[in-house]
Amino acid sequence: MAEKDPALGRIERGALVWCGLITLGALAWRRGSPDVALGVLGGGALVGASYWAIKSSVGRLTAALARRAGTSEGGPPERPRLGLALAVFVLRYALLGLLAYVMIARLRLHPVGLFLGASSMVAAAAIEATRAVRP
């Protein structure tokens, strides 16, 4: 799917860059011990999966509503399967919860690293927001 909003593309790339920088910083800070850096990567993967789940769910819902309204190029209007969309939404978040549990309880990734990795999307969005309001 082609990206229609360039700001979202910048946020996605910014989150990857921030996650990489934080990982390198954690490796430099804890010389010889990759526990925090692995946590950062895990948190980055978790926020990436969450972002993907939200983005694809919103995309499906807007496409279904456009088909229902008859404004899409896909043919005649049809009734969206909202029950299926809701089930997919719930299952995606159940999977995210399971991933978080595995990372924290089973893999024992560093909690500060997980937090830092998960905050990479927030940092990228904050940078994009300041870029949008600057003259």
Q: What is the pLDDT along the chain (135 residues), one digit of tens a residue?
A: 455 789 899 999 999 999 999 999 999 998 878 999 999 999 999 999 999 888 887 887 777 777 777 665 655 555 656 777 788 888 888 998 999 999 999 999 999 999 999 999 999 999 999 998 887
DSSP letter at 107 equals S
Q: What is the pLDDT of residue 74?
A: 57
Distance of alpha carbon 87 from the chain centroid:
19
Q: What is the DSSP string of 29-95?
A: HTTT--HHHHHHHHHHHHHHHHHHHHHHHHHHHHHHHHHHHT-SSSSS-----HHHHHHHHHHHHHH
Which pTM does this prediction carry? 0.80
Quote the CA–CA distance of 95 and 56 in Å, as a whole number: 15
Are the C-beta atoms of 20 and 78 separated by less than 8 Å? no
3-state secondary structure of 96: helix
Q: What is the pLDDT of residue 75?
A: 56
| Longest CA pairwise span in the chain (Å) | 61
Are the C-beta atoms of 19 and 119 separated by less than 8 Å? no
- Token pair of 97 as six digits: 């919860």
Q: What is the pLDDT of residue 36?
A: 94
Quote the CA–CA distance of 50 and 131 in Å, as a whole number: 24
Q: What is the pLDDT of residue 79?
A: 60
